Amino acid sequence: MWTGEHWAPRDIPNQAGRRVVLTGANSGIGYYAALELARNGAQMVMACRNPASAEEAARGIRAEVPNALVEVAILDLASVDSVREFSAKVIREGSVDLLINNAGVMAPKHRLQTKEGLELQFGTNVVGHFVLTALLLPALVQSAERHPDRPRVVTVASIAHKRGRLHFDDLQWTKSYSPMRAYQQSKLANLMLALELDRRLRRAGEPQSRIMSVAAHPGVANTKLFQVGDHGPIERLIRRGMGKLIETTLNSGAEGALATLYAATAADAQDGGYYGPKGFREMRGVEIRSAEIAPQARDQAAAERLWTECERLGGVKLLHQDSARVSG
């Protein structure tokens, strides 16, 4: 099987005419993915929570790519109302050819909550993106009906999913809270939902089945995930040092974005594929290959249960089983 080991940003096909929604595009992996897609002609919707940081990132892209088509849009994935408002605006302005669910929260020291009262990592990383995908599905279908190139939904997961477990008895960590275990659960859920989305798209028939669901992970890359949060001055300093060490010995943000860019644009990317760096334990490297999926991520019964729970928590329906069977 071809591994993608010689694939590089120079291999990105022309993205002119393609409208891309990318969450968390203001820093790290999201920023470098946005930069390369804009460099290749994509119309970028940079969906970010912090307006000032997003505008600064957009200026950086325009400085490097003077003709970049870049739009900043405010999206707080920790608020379903914000996701709904953002999605309505995106749909009013046209179809979507590529949705990259990239933004994330990683291991805040204390248990924090979304606007709806969900544990912050599960609510943001999982439910927020689930609702966004559900609400933007009509815009993706519109692209599938109008354009020869298949639209894609790319979900950014993590090698942390391998240590994750779904705690259906306490998904929101109200009984006890472990920052890293909650993060691992959220990344496992991301990958499971990406794989379940692929299965449901296939069952739904055209035009939905023309939409690709693909996942990727960056290995271990230096992003702001290591630096944000309610940390004291000493811990912040340590985390900045960790980021620099990761960039030196493992992956930079630009290198970490390669698997996402491959999943988003490569002609060889497969429906339901999962891609990451080829290096040591999938933690580093600029060569991209099919990534290892932990056994628990392939549990289809658990994925269906998780899907139903996300529909309930987000107040949406996404390729619901009954409708998928009827249309399929």
DSSP 8-class letter at 172: T
Q: Helices (DSSP H) in the chain: which residue ranges? A: 28-39, 51-64, 80-92, 120-121, 129-146, 179-204, 233-249, 253-256, 258-265, 300-314, 321-327
Q: How many CA atoms lie within 13 A of 49 on its CB side?
A: 13
Contact between 124 and 104 under an 8 Å Cβ cutoff? The reply is yes
Share of the chain above pLDDT 90, in %: 79
| In the block, residue with structure tokens 């993106």 | 129
What is the reported pLDDT for 6?
Answer: 74
Tokens representing residue 238 in the block: 């340590």
Contact between 207 and 217 under an 8 Å Cβ cutoff? The reply is no
pLDDT tens, position by position, 169-226: 999 999 999 999 999 999 999 999 999 999 999 999 999 999 999 999 998 754 554 4
The whole model's pTM is what? 0.90
What mean pLDDT comes out for the span 245-254?
A: 52
Say which amino acid occupies 2. W
CATH no., domain 9-327: 3.40.50.720
What mean pLDDT comes out for the span 101-122?
A: 97
What mean pLDDT comes out for the span 25-43?
A: 97
Share of the chain above pLDDT 70, in %: 84
Distance of CA 172 to the CA centre of its chain: 20
Using left for φ > 0, alpha for ψ between -120 and 50, and beta otherwise, residue 173 falls in left
Question: Residue 229: pLDDT above 50?
Answer: no
> Which residues are identified as catalytic?
183
Q: CA geometry: angle at 153 spanning 152 and 157, to 5°?
A: 135
